[in-house]
Amino acid sequence: MKKNLLKNNIVQSLLTSLICIILGMIVGFIVLLFINPAGAAEAIISIAKNFFCYNSTNMQLKYLGNTLAKTAPLLMCSLSVLFSYKVGLFNIGVAGQYVVGACACLYAALAWHLSWLPCMLLAILAGAVFGAISGALKAYFNVNEVISGIMLNWIGLYGTNMILSNVKEAASPYTYQLSAAGEQAILPTLGLGALFNNNQYVGLALPLSIICAIAIWVILEKTRFGYELKATGYNKNAAKYSGMAEKRNMILTLIIGGALAGLGGSLLYQTGYEQWQCTHSSLPAMGFNGIAAAFLGGLSPIGTIFASFFIQHITAGGTYVDKTMYCSQISDLISAIIVYLCGFVGFFKYAINTHIAKREARKGGNE
């Protein structure tokens, strides 16, 4: 009975993800120990606790709300990575697509005063265009999508800084507050905020991102289009041979991936949770954390929902470490270790399977 359970692919994925998380936390703890052994245990616990650091239920709810508000865009980014990866493309350009999405919706909201839906659609469009560039370069010019993605990330970042400088506050590098200058563009809260101690940042974003995750699952598993995409990912030449338009599929994949990431940008910045800082000289961590969440979620759309929450949970938890000894980037370190370990997932599964096979062989011999 137990053996059958271990053979199950979903159980194996879950197990390997747990191994990655535990090992990642242990490495993080060791690093903390090296920096300052006195507060290491306390620090790793605050990272794991995140909003539970607060005593009152109301505060806990409020900060759970904040974590959820940032989980939604993270989920979109990781869906973008996951979707492209299924087709054999590594969409590292997700960070840039997310940034141009944020750029489009903020500019539309602050300069043109459009309402929330057109702003969101523009963000999706901007992300899709960036994805399309990567896809076209890959399909027609054989440019590695990882390298073109990185180049587009920086082009997107500098471009966004330039464009959003037109709608920034005079005295600071930040764009105008959405609640003051573009209230019409704030996403509807659907009354969800009330559940989290009147947290105005929780709203449409969360259910929308979960719907997207389910939609991606349906597309990949239940439609002919998804089947074609996955076939292209497994073997490009075989897909072409059996009459699938492999070039079109590649471009379409990155367009969808870009659109998802662009929507992610809109889902964070249109809540008014953050203002864009026009002096950003490095890309927001959201895109790269999306990569972490996608792999941690075992590349399943449903798994990523939980993985995104976990990654955002420890990222937010990082801000609660004792700042007189450590810095919040310790969470980035743990996420990075988790991604590194996810590279070994194939090996972990191989080890589990050979272990089972050996045990079964031994049993067979005894009988």
Minimum distance from CB of 142 to another protein (Å)? 5
3-state secondary structure 111-180: CCCCCHHHHHHHHHHHHHHHHHHHHHHHHHHCCCHHHHHHHHHHHHHHHHHHHHHHHECCCCCEECCHHH
Minimum distance from CB of 227 to another protein (Å)? 23
Minimum distance from CB of 288 to another protein (Å)? 5
151 binds another protein (CB under 8 A): yes
47 binds another protein (CB under 8 A): no
> CA–CA distance from 84 to each of 92, 259, 344 (Å)?
10, 12, 20
61 binds another protein (CB under 8 A): no
Using CB under 8 A as the binding rule, the residues of this chain from 153 to 192 that contact another protein are 153-155, 158-159, 161-162
337 binds another protein (CB under 8 A): yes
Nearer to another protein, 85 or 201 (CB): 85
291 binds another protein (CB under 8 A): yes
DSSP 67-85: HHHHHHHHHHHHHHHHHHH
Length of the chain: 367
Cα 168 to Cα 164: distance, rounded to the nearest angstrom: 6
Q: Draw the binding track, 70-109, toward another protein (x: CB under 8 A; -: no contact).
A: --------------------x-x-----------------
Token representation of residue 299:
């590349």
111 binds another protein (CB under 8 A): no
Q: Candidates 54-62, 114-122, 169-177, 285-293: pick the segment binding another protein (CB under 8 A).
A: 285-293
Nearer to another protein, 174 or 340 (CB): 340
> CA–CA distance from 305 to each of 19, 21, 79, 199 (Å)?
18, 15, 9, 21
284: left (phi over 0), alpha (psi -120 to 50) or beta: beta
141 binds another protein (CB under 8 A): yes
H or E, element range at 309 = helix 301-317
- Cβ atoms of 196 and 65 closer than 8 Å: yes
Q: Candidates 175-183, 229-237, 286-294, 356-364: pick the segment binding another protein (CB under 8 A).
A: 286-294
286 binds another protein (CB under 8 A): no
Q: What is the DSSP letter of 277?
A: B
Minimum distance from CB of 98 to another protein (Å)? 15
Minimum distance from CB of 151 to another protein (Å)? 4
Which of residues 15, 31, 111, 129 is near another protein by CB under 8 A?
31
20 binds another protein (CB under 8 A): no
- Residue labelled with tokens 């000894």: 325
Other C-beta atoms within 10 Å of 58: how many?
12
Which of residues 55, 237, 324, 366 is near another protein by CB under 8 A?
324
Nearer to another protein, 58 or 144 (CB): 144
Encoded amino acid at 203, one letter: G
Nearer to another protein, 110 or 137 (CB): 137
335 binds another protein (CB under 8 A): yes
Token representation of residue 42:
């306390």
Cα 264 to Cα 71: distance, rounded to the nearest angstrom: 10
Cα 217 versus chain centre, distance: 16
Minimum distance from CB of 16 to another protein (Å)? 13
Cα 222 to Cα 345: distance, rounded to the nearest angstrom: 26
142 binds another protein (CB under 8 A): yes
Give the footprint of another protein on this chain (CB under 8 A): 31, 35-36, 90, 92, 137, 141-144, 146-148, 150-155, 158-159, 161-162, 281-282, 288, 291-292, 295, 323-327, 329-330, 332-333, 335-337, 339-340, 342-344, 346-347
